[in-house]
Amino acid sequence: MILPVPAFEFSHGDSPLLVSMPHSGLNLTSDVQHGLTEQAQKLPDTDWFIPELYSDLEALGVGVIKANYSRYVIDLNRPIDDKPLYTTKTTGLFPTILFEETPVYLEGQMPSEKHRNDCKEHIWKPYHLMIEQELARLKAKFGYAILFDAHSIAAEVPMLFDGRLPDFNWGTNEGKACSGAITNVVTQVLRPHYTQVLNGRFKGGYITRHFGQPERNTHAIQLELSQATYLNDECAQQNQYQLDQEKLPAIKQQLGELMEALLSVASE
């Protein structure tokens, strides 16, 4: 497989914190692109604008790994054997339905098994190997490492959950993926006008569950951020995704404060 763009972009940091962005990619392989339904071509289940929301990480000395390919090519937050992470309805390593429960692919147009295997080898494995190597480097340098897995999702997705999500949805695999100090600092720094929940509908995907090993001084926490905190509501309802310039300063400031709080935990 020859990829039109690299599997991911990575930048080193000089702190114990690494931020992962596995679902913000917009690129497609030709095999996937040619088979998508009209609705899937809009990439509605993307974690929209995550790199833009966390654009100040470099100034904080925080390393970043961000996927270049859409989750419709391969979902980097699922195990490579595609074992389900939740007992409730969800999407897999190679999604076949959108969150709105319509098909991803036109009939008979799903990519071949060879294409799926190539995506595992050339996209999934390199992304996870990079995380593994960087966390090992950070732990060797600082004595510990923290992985922050950055996600976002529409506030209302009936296929996945009832009602409307809180603004900040923290996942720590029921406390198994990171120390209590990390959980405490991120939940306490949140401003009162934002709502939050810990290990609610989203308890952390494969990345958080796999890399979070606090007993080995490697911590992981996932944030599933409601897109209602930063997208233009009217545009989002029409599958047109635009940043809301009135909401943006507040959410960026809040996310910056979260990153600084995590770094303060690391320095204690």
Amino acid at 113: E
Determine the average pLDDT of the residues in 94-99: 96
Distance separating alpha carbons of residues 111 and 30, to the nearest angstrom? 10
Place 236 in a pLDDT band, splitting at 50, 70 and 90. confident
Average pLDDT of span 133-155? 97
CATH number for the domain spanning 21: value is: 3.40.630.40
Which pLDDT score is estimated for 86? 64
C-beta separation of 178 from 262 below 8 A: no
Q: Which residue has the higher pLDDT, 260 or 82?
A: 260
pLDDT higher at 138 or 239 = 138
Q: Is residue 82 very low, low, confident or very high in pLDDT (cuts 50, 70, 90)?
A: confident
Give the percent of the chain with pLDDT over 70: 97
Among 108, 90, 80, residue whose Cα is nearest residue 210: 80
250 in any annotated domain: yes
- Per the structure, the count of domains in the chain is 1
Q: Which residues contact residue 222 at a Cβ distance below 8 angstroms, ignoring those fewer than 6 apart?
A: 148, 149, 151, 170, 171, 172, 202, 204, 205, 207, 208
* Residue 2 falls inside a structural domain: no
Residue 94 inside a domain? The answer is yes
Q: Is the pLDDT of residue 248 over 80?
A: yes
| pLDDT computed for residue 50 by the predictor | 98
Per-residue pLDDT reduced to its tens digit, 116-126: 999 999 999 99
Contacts of 202 (CB under 8 A, 6+ apart): 151, 169, 171, 222, 224
Residue closest to 181 by CA, chosen among 158, 204, 154, 214: 214
pLDDT at residue 90, as a whole number: 74
Identify whether the C-beta of residue 82 lies closer than 8 Å to the C-beta of residue 72: no
The answer to which of 14-18, 84-88, 157-161 has the lowest mean pLDDT is 84-88
Average pLDDT over residues 18-25: 98
DSSP 8-state secondary structure symbol assigned to residue 73: T
Does residue 71 lie in a domain region?
yes
Structure tokens at 206: 């494969």
| Orientation angle between helical segments 180-188 and 248-267, nearest 10 degrees | 150
Q: For the stretch 124-156, what's the b/e string if a residue is b when 16 or more beta carbons lie within 10 angstroms of its beta carbon? A: beebbebbeebbeebbeebebbbbbbbbbbbbe
Give strand pairing partners of 189: none
User: Is 91 part of a structural domain of the chain?
Assistant: yes
Pairwise CA distance, residues 172 & 176, whole Å = 6
Q: Within 10 A of 231 (CB to CB), how many other CB atoms are there? A: 23
Mean pLDDT of the chain: 95
Number of H helices, E strands in the chain: 8, 7
Q: Does 1 reside within a domain?
A: no
Give me the mean pLDDT over the 122-139 stretch.
98
pLDDT at site 119: 98
| Token pair for 267 | 């320095």
Q: Which domain holds residue 209?
A: 8-267
Q: What is the pLDDT of residue 131?
A: 98
Phi/psi for 113 (5° steps) reads -60, -35
> Is the Cβ–Cβ distance between 19 and 57 less than 8 Å?
yes
Mean pLDDT for the stretch of residues 241-254: 96
Note whether residue 3 is domain-resident: no
268 — pLDDT class (breaks 50, 70, 90):
low
Band of pLDDT at residue 266, cut at 50, 70 and 90: low
How far apart, in whole angstroms, are the C-alpha atoms of residue 55 and residue 252? 9
Mean pLDDT over 98-119 rounds to 97
The radius of gyration of the chain from alpha carbons, rounded to an integer in Å, stands at 18
- Does the reported pTM lie above 0.85? yes
